[in-house]
Every structure is written in C-alpha cells, then in structure tokens.
A and B are shown apart, each in its own frame.
Chain A
Amino acid sequence: MSSKTNPVPETLAVGAHPTVAEALADGLELRRAVKRITPPGQWPALNLGELMEYRELLYFMVWRELKVRYKQTLIGAGWAVIQPVATMVVFSLFFGRLAKIPSGGLPYPLFFYAALLPWTYFAGALTGATGSVVENQRVITKVYFPRVLLPLSAVFSGLADFAIAFMLLIGMALYYKVAPGPWLLFVPAFLLLAVLTALGAGLWLAALNALYRDVRYVVPFAVQFWMFASPVAYPSSLVPERWRALYGLNPMAGVIDGFRWAITGENPPSAGLLAASACAVVGMLVAGLWYFRRMEAKVADVV
C-alpha cells in the first residue's frame, strides 16, 4: 500500500470560482483530486507528478532563501565570489607556484578557479540540503507539501551564487585570452551533473540528519575530504590510467574535469571517467530519493 494521488474526473472544483470561464482563466484544473492516505510501504512511490503540482512553491522557497540570505548584508551578492576567489589565491600560491603541480598548460588562477566554481556550488548545495529538513521542522509539522522540495530548493538556490561567480570566470577567461569554442556548450551539461550529484547526496544526508542529529557535524569534514578526492587542487591526469575509471566513480571528478575542459577547451576528460561519474550520479539519485521518501513517513513524528 502506498500513498498516491488519483485524480478523479469530476465537474467544477467546488467553491473557488462561480464560472467555468473564471476557473480556466486562472489556470485551475477542472478535476477533483482524491488523496488516499494509507500506512507507508517499503517501496514508496516516487510521485513526480506531485512535484510538478508544487513547482510554484519550489520557486517561492528558492526566492525566499535568496531574499533572506541577502537582506541586511553589506556586500550582498559579493559573498558569492569571495570564497572561490580567496581559495583560488591560496591554491595558486601553494599548489601552483610553490608545489608546481601540472596544470595542463593553463595559468594557475584559471586552472583553480574553473574547478573551484562548480566545487563551491556543490559544497554549498550539499551543506544546505543536509540541514534543509531540520531547519524547516516547524513548517513540516504544520502544513503538507512534498518534503523533497526542501533539499531541492537548497540545491537550486545555490545556482544564483553560481551564476554570479560564473561572471567572474568569464572575465578571467577573457583576461587570459582563452579562445571560446564549441566545448562551451557543455557547460550546462556539467553543471547539471553537479546539481544532480548535490541532489543525490543531499537527499541522503537530509534524511539522515533528520533522524540522527550529529550528521550535520560530519558533513563539513566529509566535504573537505571529498574535495581532495576530486581534481580541484590537482589535475586528474595525476591519477594513474588504470585507476582512472574507479576514480571517476566520484561524480565530482567528472564535473570538475568536464567543467575545466568546457571553459578552456584543454585536456578533455577521459570517456571512462565520465561514464563512471554519470552512472554514479544516477545510482546516488535513485538511492537518495528512495531513502528520503522512506524516511519521510517518520520525519514528522521525529523532527
């Protein structure tokens, strides 16, 4: 048994509109939704249709998140840029100038920033998603909406910061006279990969954090570790050939490599690595969604 929405075709929706014309003008559907509530099963339905229904709320959640973040701040959107830039400076100095790691022909600042940009997005989205359920515990216990919207909105709201920091990347690329090419078209693809990775891992962590409160403290440490397991501070060419596919199971490896290539056109990522990353993302997403839905039933009682 599982919970699902069965739209039952009926006549007008009761109450809101005296005329059909008005109802249609407002875009309301002329159906009566029936909600059947039963004890949750082991294999909860994914219910993507419901997510479409609530897309406006998702928009409002992201909008609210961004508004609140930048209210009463001095620099406002500037914060989106400061972190990746500062890290880039440090990396360029220590990993670049001093340690002299191979950067595949790219100037160090560009090499690092092109990787730090999607990485900063990912780290922020993941941290945000982890805490999303617990932070909104008040709202969860009072009103119904698909709980998936919470980590989803955390993952999406990071994109605004990403967009701002991306401007700087374009500026840098121009400064270093990097010629634009057809590889630029792949930027959205790799960004999507990053979004899905953040979502997959975020769903797991959000659910776990709601049940076990100390998960939140582990995440920053895990993210740091994850960064060093990804080709942010070094190129993936440093990893020996035979390990590269395994290395690619870290979806962020595919994202970082791909992103660097999409901006500069140098050092295209190996196919094996990309394939491994893509598979890993799909697996994480499905597993994360399943676990989240399963835990959803318990959350309101426990949070």
Chain B
Amino acid sequence: MSAAAISVTGLGKRFQLGERERYLALRDVLARAAKGALGKKQSGKANGRPSMWALRNVSFDVREGETIGVIGRNGAGKSTLLKILAGITWPSEGAAEVHGRVGSLLEVGTGFHPELTGRENIYFSGSILGMKKIEIERKFDEIVAFSGVETFLDTPLKHYSSGMQLRLAFSVAAHLEPEVLLVDEVLAVGDLEFQKKCLGKMEEVTRGGRTVLFVSHNMGAVRRICTRGVWLDGGTVRLSGTAAECVDAYTASAEAVAEAGTGLFDMAERTDRVGNGRVKFQRIRMKDSAGDERSTFEFGEPFTMEFEMECLEAIRSCFVGISFLSSDGSNVMSSHHSDSAELRELRKGTSHKLVCRYEPNVLKPGGYALQAAILDAATWEFVDWIYTIGPFTVSEGTGRFGRLPDGRPGSTQPLLQWEWR
C-alpha cells in the first residue's frame, strides 16, 4: 500500500517583518494605541506591516517509505516548510496532511539540560522527541552503546565535552522510530567520524521503510539517501522530481549564476558553514596563471586557489583541506595543505593566506564545486567547513595546455608516466 504519507497543498507562510525587529513591550503597544487615538499617523506602516511570503503555493506529495530531499539556497523556505510539517509553526494559507507519528530532528540535543546527568537527559530528550517511557527503557542500552558515553552516564551534562554531548544527542535522536521523520541539516555538525556515523544511520533509517523529509545543502548526501527531491526557490517549488533531477538542476542553476561571476568567492557573510569557528575563511579566490580571477578554466590549465582566513581564537595547529566535488556530488579528490606546507600555530586576531597551485590540472571538463575546510590537526575536528564554494567550470579546452579531453572513464584524466621496456 503506497498511500501518501505527507501531502502538501498550496501551503503558504507569511511573516510580518515588523515582528522580527524586536520584542514588543506592552508600553510600546499602549503608546501606539495612544498615538492612534490622538489621530497621529504611524510612519508608513499603519495597519499592514511590511510582510514577506516565506512559502507560497507549495504543493507536493510524499508516498509512504519515500525519502525526499528538500534543497535550495539559503532563505528558500526549507526550514519553514519543515517547521510547518512538524507542527511548530502554522501556515498562513493552504493545508498539509501528515499520516503517522512525526519525529522532528531540527537540531541535535533537543531538550538537553546541562544540570541533568546523561541518563536523565536521555529520558527527557527521548520523551520530548516523542518516545514513550517504555520505549526509552527498552532502547536505553542501545542508545548508550551507540553514543559511547557509558562511563559518564551519571555525571551532569555540563561536564561532557562538546563531542560527547553531540554523540549522546544524536544517539537519542537516532533511536526515534517515528513513521515520518523530518530532518533539518542535523548532520552538519561534529567531526568526520561523527558525520560518517550520522550518514550511515540515516541510510539505515531510510531503508527501514520510514518516510523521510531531508533538508540539506550537502548534495552528495541528498543524492545518496533520497529517492525524490523538491527544489525550493524563494518560497516556491521550482522543481519536483527524482533526487538526481533536482540536484542536477539546482547545481546547474548555481553554475549559471557563477558563469557570470568572477573567481572571487566571499565567505565572510556565509552562514552555511560548520565548525567551532576559531578560524574562518574570509575570501577564496581562483586565479589563472596570469593572476586574473576567473571561475572557468580550460582543460589542463593550471590555476591557483587562494584562501584568506581570519583567526578568531588561537589554535595550536590546523590544516586546510580542500575537495573538488563534481556536479554529481561525488568527491573527485582532496588535498591537505600539510602535504607540502608546514602546520602553523595561529594567534588570535591574525589574518593568513594560503595559496594552492593546481598543476597539472587533471580534472575532466564539467562543473565543479570546491569544498574547503579547516581542521584541527590534533583531533580532525572541524574548525570551519564550507560545503560548496563556487561552482567553477573546467571547459573542453583548445589543447593550449598540451592536452585535450577525450571522454575516457574515471573522474580525472591524469598524466602518468608510461614507457616501453
């Protein structure tokens, strides 16, 4: 039986901009009312405060057991959609129907209180996420085992390291067994090992026949886990189809935007980043051999990437790692700066620049995104991680740089040393 587990019809959500500014104090309301009574006009905003539609006319269906990925730029309305389906906020128009028990994972550590012990937090968090007491008791040992905090179970949470808290929080959430699961980028935290564990558990969950709605910026994860996709742009559904279709369309559109752009990528204002933030990327530039900033390079053309970073808190040693992601989300290759440059200790308030020269360029023609991260050299914990920078393109080329692409299989077209003997 494949009934619709989630069905959304014409959903819309409007936010009044005035309310976002600051909290209203009763005296402000009274003052306004008094002003109104005295006949004084409010400056510009009278009755209807300026508003914006975070979602408009959104309709789609999700069948039971499907995993649907919701993608889109920041501010496209993805989290708002999730919140409405979870019942946290109400729509302004339209309707949605959700069949089955709903579990929402909008953050890791919902309901955690630092004064309570790990054990107590498991109970409370489990309960607030929707598990019954019997259920929590039944799964208690599993939850503890998955999180790896056995020895600290009876110490207050405030004494846990952030990594332990994260693992415990995720462990509780991972053992939720709702019929419909709503996940909002919750996988975007923690160190590499944690990420892998999260992703693995997510895959397990989706295979279990549950209906999952997954919001993410990580196109690779969306492709891997989701069967269907919905691309939200500016609050409306731009495309609804298979996950692959949506991811391709989305990355293609982002490419179209970038083609008009230069090779300068400003990181300072970006919020879709993960990590403890002690060092942050400010700007990333891609330059050709002449020093011009570009975002399209010919096949075989060497180019340089410059990473400008700002150190906000001292860090003993960290390394910068980059990955090249192809348009299907797969990681073509990675490089760490420590491969050929030294690790440095960074002091608070200092700026640094790392330059990476990619020569020879063995990337096959196509669209790529750069992924850059600063990792703590001792723990491999994320200091700053930005999923997609760019995109940038490698074009077919004219053979100027000695080679032509020939469509051979593989993600790269390397130049190895061959010799007859």
Segment at the B interface, from A33-41, A74-82, A90-98, A183-191: A33-41
Q: Is the CB of A35 within 8 A of B87?
A: yes
Segment at the B interface, from A138-146, A170-178, A245-253, A265-273: A138-146
Q: How far is the CA of A38 from the CA of B92 in the complex (A)?
A: 8
Identify 18 new A-B residue pairs, CB closer than 8 A, beyond the known A14-B210, A143-B129. A8-B99, A13-B101, A14-B64, A27-B134, A32-B99, A35-B97, A37-B87, A37-B96, A39-B90, A56-B127, A60-B128, A64-B113, A67-B115, A71-B116, A142-B88, A143-B111, A212-B25, A302-B19
Q: Which B residue's beta carbon lies closest to that of A301? A: B89
- Count how many chain B residues have C-beta atoms less than 8 Å from C-beta atoms of the other chain: 56
Known contacts A35-B98, A211-B24; decide if A57 and B90 are in contact (CB<8 Å): no
Assess whether B209 is interfacial by the CB under 8 Å rule: yes
Q: Is the CB of A144 within 8 A of B102?
A: yes
Q: Which B residue's beta carbon lies closest to that of A208? A: B26
Q: Which of B101-149 contact A (CB under 8 A)?
A: 101-102, 104, 106-107, 110-111, 113, 115-116, 120, 123-124, 127-130, 132-135, 138
Known contacts A68-B116, A142-B104; decide if A60 and B23 are in contact (CB<8 Å): no
Known contacts A15-B177, A33-B100, A35-B102; decide if A141 and B123 are in contact (CB<8 Å): no
Known contacts A144-B102, A301-B15; decide if A15 and B208 are in contact (CB<8 Å): yes
Segment at the A interface, from B78-86, B389-397, B412-420: B78-86
Write out the residue numbers on chain B whose beta carbons fall within 8 Å of the beta carbon of A1: 95
Q: Is the CB of A37 within 8 A of B92?
A: no
Assess whether A215 is interfacial by the CB under 8 Å rule: yes
Q: How far is the CA of A219 from the CA of B237 in the complex (A)?
A: 46
Q: How far is the CA of A16 from the CA of B175 in the complex (A)?
A: 11
Assess whether B378 is interfacial by the CB under 8 Å rule: no
Q: Which B residue's beta carbon lies closest to that of A141? A: B88
Q: Which of B15-46 contact A (CB under 8 A)?
A: 15, 19, 23-27, 29
Q: How far is the CA of A213 from the CA of B28 in the complex (A)?
A: 11
Q: Is the CB of A139 within 8 A of B110?
A: yes
A171–chain B nearest beta-carbon distance, Å: 32
A24–chain B nearest beta-carbon distance, Å: 12
Write out the residue numbers on chain B whose beta carbons fall within 8 Å of the beta carbon of A33: 99-101
Write out the residue numbers on chain B whose beta carbons fall within 8 Å of the beta carbon of A8: 99
Give 10 closest A-B pairs by Cβ, nearest first. A144-B87, A300-B89, A212-B26, A60-B127, A37-B96, A213-B23, A214-B25, A297-B90, A142-B106, A16-B177
Contact with A along B165-193 (1 / 0, CB 8 A): 00000000000011100000000000000
- Count how many chain A residues have C-beta atoms less than 8 Å from C-beta atoms of the other chain: 46
Q: How far is the CA of A75 from the CA of B162 in the complex (A)?
A: 31
Known contacts A37-B96, A143-B88; decide if A56 and B19 are in contact (CB<8 Å): no
A142–chain B nearest beta-carbon distance, Å: 5
Assess whether B93 is interfacial by the CB under 8 Å rule: yes
Q: Is the CB of B100 within 8 A of A37?
A: no
Q: How far is the CA of A212 from the CA of B130 in the complex (A)?
A: 30
Q: Which B residue's beta carbon lies closest to that of A8? A: B99
Q: Is the CB of A34 within 8 A of B97?
A: yes
Assess whether B91 is interfacial by the CB under 8 Å rule: yes
Write out the residue numbers on chain A whose beta carbons fall within 8 Å of the beta carbon of B100: 13-14, 32-33
Assess whether A72 is interfacial by the CB under 8 Å rule: yes
Q: Is the CB of A143 within 8 A of B86?
A: yes
Among candidates A34, A144, A211, residue contacting B104 with C-beta atoms closer than 8 Å: A144
Write out the residue numbers on chain B whose beta carbons fall within 8 Å of the beta carbon of A143: 86, 88, 104, 106, 110-111, 128-130
Contact with B along A143-155 (1 / 0, CB 8 A): 1110000000000
Contact with B along A31-74 (1 / 0, CB 8 A): 01111111110000000000000001100100110011001100
Write out the residue numbers on chain B whose beta carbons fall within 8 Å of the beta carbon of A3: 87, 90
Known contacts A37-B90, A60-B123; decide if A67 and B116 are in contact (CB<8 Å): yes
Known contacts A27-B132, A32-B99, A37-B98; decide if A15 and B90 are in contact (CB<8 Å): no
Write out the residue numbers on chain B whose beta carbons fall within 8 Å of the beta carbon of A68: 113, 115-116
Could you list some 15 contacts between A and B, CB below 8 A?
A15-B179, A16-B135, A27-B132, A33-B99, A33-B101, A35-B98, A37-B90, A60-B128, A64-B120, A140-B88, A143-B88, A213-B23, A218-B26, A300-B88, A302-B23
B130–chain A nearest beta-carbon distance, Å: 8
B133–chain A nearest beta-carbon distance, Å: 6
Q: How far is the CA of A48 from the CA of B327 in the complex (A)?
A: 51
Q: How far is the CA of A145 from the CA of B84 in the complex (A)?
A: 13
Q: How far is the CA of A28 from the CA of B29 in the complex (A)?
A: 47
Among candidates B111, B124, B179, residue contacting A13 with C-beta atoms closer than 8 Å: B179
Write out the residue numbers on chain A whose beta carbons fall within 8 Å of the beta carbon of B138: 26
B50–chain A nearest beta-carbon distance, Å: 15
